Amino acid sequence: MLEISRLQISRRTFVGGVGVSALAGLLAACTGPSTAPGPGAGIRWWDHFGGLQEQHKAWAAAQAERLGVAVEYSYNEPGRALEALQLANQSKQLPDVYSNIMGLPLPALVDSGWVSPIELSDEALGRLPEGTLVEGISMLDGVVYGLPSLSDRQYWACTWYNSEIAGSVGFEPPRSYDELRAALQSIADDGQFAPMTLALGASERIRDQVDDLAQAAGFPGWQGLRYDTGEYAYDDDTYVNAIELLKEISDNGWLLPGTNSFQIPDARGRWAAGNVGFAIDGPWAPGGVRALNEAHLPKMATAGELTPEGEDLVITRGAPAPTWFVAGNTPHADDVNKLLESFTQDDYQAVLAEAMDQPPLNLDTVADADVIEPYAWLVEDFKKRVFRAPQPQVRNGAANEALALITPVAPHLGDIIQGYLGGDVTDLKGELVKLSATFDKNLDQAIDKASGAGAKVSRDDWAFSDWQRGVDYAY
């Protein structure tokens, strides 16, 4: 899958404003511009998109022939991709083109020399959907530094289930927490299959999924931060109830043995083997499953994303975050820009669609693509259910100066969830209160530092009192 994963920050990183605190210390340890290999080496292109490996190899070969220059494509497993980039930067071997897995504010990447401007032709710019390039997210002072290729309109905690098991056991696609509990119990009572598996060993992934479930349950913000007040509230009932659902699933023995230590490939692989009823995974699950066991694709079905009582789903996401960056000191700038322009073409967007991984920037390409019906259904659901969120760095570019200074928080939400499910954490509410206080304190300190250095930024920049749930935010 197009895994960031999530170090798996998250696909979550591709969506604007995600994962900043998890990696704020990165550049402090790895600053200074890198020098890519000399001009004779050709373009080096790295990403962490497991579901696109074969497609990207083919695309690299086609673009190499078109450009008349070698294009060397390399895939890094998501859990190792960030470290690979750090090591490449330290050894002055940063690839010419690389996927966004860092989750840091754009100014920090620019100031440190990690990225360089992207120059796109008018034709390429005209192919981008309206609102793709946003100041403070993919542009600074009108200069493009990051190119989005993936849609921001998506949700990640999709309820995937095995349609054959559903037919054998006899349960309907669950929309609510109670309906999921009933379906899991029916599978357990049947005794032929394991009810569910999750990537509980990947703390960042379970964090992302609970963030999603909380927002689906009505939390008025994202990643613990309320849009309306600009304050953290991980102790909100929406978070507590989502975590308690996972705890109940675990305590009732509804999880495949070993699930507590499963990383993403483990959980997905066990589910794709065909003997497990449910898995919570992102829209990219079909692409990942195809790489593991293509025979399972016809059995894949989805109920969308759970809400507590089966209410209509409402999700918010920020502006499209960059998918691609260009190394600060690439010696191949002209050819690299041409390679990036190819990512705006309809045929490349079709490649993304048919990979059935993260949805392409142009969601309309999915309707005509060769994809399984559940994937097409999800993408149509994204169009109806996902709305544009407010972001402080879009309203006030100076907010990026503070975001770049936020201190990483540990343990984070995913660590607390793991501890609670495993029994090491007994006071869930208390830990979530402390987590909120830590995030608030760190944000206040970062704002104070940025203000002291001359940035015109305040905590008020994080509060959007005019935000309305279920409406695209307009500044």
| pLDDT tens across the length of the chain (475 residues) | 343 332 333 333 333 333 333 333 444 444 444 443 444 569 999 999 877 889 999 999 999 999 999 999 999 987 788 899 999 988 888 999 999 987 788 988 998 899 999 999 999 999 999 899 999 999 999 999 999 999 999 999 999 999 999 999 999 999 999 999 999 999 999 999 999 999 999 999 999 999 999 999 999 999 999 999 999 999 999 999 999 999 999 999 999 999 999 999 999 999 999 999 999 999 999 999 998 999 999 999 999 999 999 999 999 999 999 999 999 989 999 999 999 999 999 999 999 999 999 899 999 999 999 999 999 999 999 999 999 999 999 999 999 999 989 988 999 999 999 999 999 999 999 999 999 999 999 999 999 999 999 999 999 999 999 999 999 999 9
Q: Domain check: are 250 and 203 in the same one?
A: yes
Q: Domain check: are 257 and 348 in the same one?
A: no
pLDDT at 79: 74
Question: For residue 32, is it within any domain?
Answer: yes
Q: Domain check: are 303 and 166 in the same one?
A: yes
Q: Domain check: are 166 and 142 in the same one?
A: no
Domain count along the chain: 2
Residues contacting 264, CB < 8 A, separation 6+: 1, 3, 5, 6, 8, 78, 199, 202, 205, 288
pTM, entire model:
0.88
Question: For residue 452, is it within any domain?
Answer: no
Question: For residue 405, is it within any domain?
Answer: no
Q: Domain check: are 63 and 141 in the same one?
A: yes
Question: For residue 411, is it within any domain?
Answer: no
Place of tokens 């749930």: 469
pLDDT at 80: 86
Q: Domain check: are 301 and 324 in the same one?
A: no
Rounded CA separation 69/444 (Å): 48
Tell me how long the chain is. Answer: 475
Please, are residues 1 and 53 in contact by the beta-carbon 8 Å criterion? no
Question: For residue 103, is it within any domain?
Answer: yes
Rounded CA separation 373/390 (Å): 32
CATH number (domain holding residue 144): 3.40.190.10
Calculate the CA 56 to chain-centre distance.
Answer: 19
Rounded CA separation 194/177 (Å): 18
354 HSE (CA, 13 A, CB side): 12
- Residue 153 CA: distances (Å) to CA of 113, 173, 383, 415, 436: 30, 23, 7, 27, 26
Q: Domain check: are 187 and 63 in the same one?
A: no
pLDDT at 24: 38
Q: How many CB atoms lie within 10 A of CB 456?
A: 12
**Mode of pairing for the β-strands spanning 194-197 and 276-281:** parallel
Q: Domain check: are 194 and 129 in the same one?
A: no
Q: Domain check: are 269 and 360 in the same one?
A: no
Rounded CA separation 416/234 (Å): 11
Question: For residue 185, is it within any domain?
Answer: yes
Q: Domain check: are 280 and 370 in the same one?
A: no
Q: How far apart are the first and last CA of the chain?
A: 33
Rounded CA separation 431/450 (Å): 29
DSSP code at position 113: T
**Domain edge (last residue) among 292, 317, 342:** 317
Q: Domain check: are 139 and 175 in the same one?
A: no
pLDDT at 424: 97
Question: For residue 397, is it within any domain?
Answer: no
**Domain edge (last residue) among 291, 317, 343:** 317
Place of tokens 């994080």: 462
pLDDT at 208: 96
136: containing domain:
11-153+319-388
Please, are residues 371 and 290 in contact by the beta-carbon 8 Å criterion? no
Please, are residues 282 and 455 in contact by the beta-carbon 8 Å criterion? no
What 407-411 contacts at long range (C-beta under 8 Å, 24+ apart), as own/partner pairs, is 407/21, 407/24, 407/25, 407/442, 407/445, 407/446, 408/21, 408/22, 408/23, 408/24, 408/25, 409/21, 409/22, 409/435, 409/438, 409/439, 409/442
**Domain edge (last residue) among 372, 388, 404:** 388
Rounded CA separation 421/426 (Å): 9
**Mode of pairing for the β-strands spanning 324-326 and 97-99:** antiparallel
Q: What are phi and psi of 177, to 5 degrees?
A: -60, -45
Q: Domain check: are 178 and 295 in the same one?
A: yes
Rounded CA separation 24/102 (Å): 9
pLDDT at 91: 87
Beta strand extents in 133-192 (DSSP E only):
139-140, 143-144, 158-162
Closest among 90, 109, 130, 91 to 13, alpha carbons compared:
109
Question: For residue 426, is it within any domain?
Answer: no
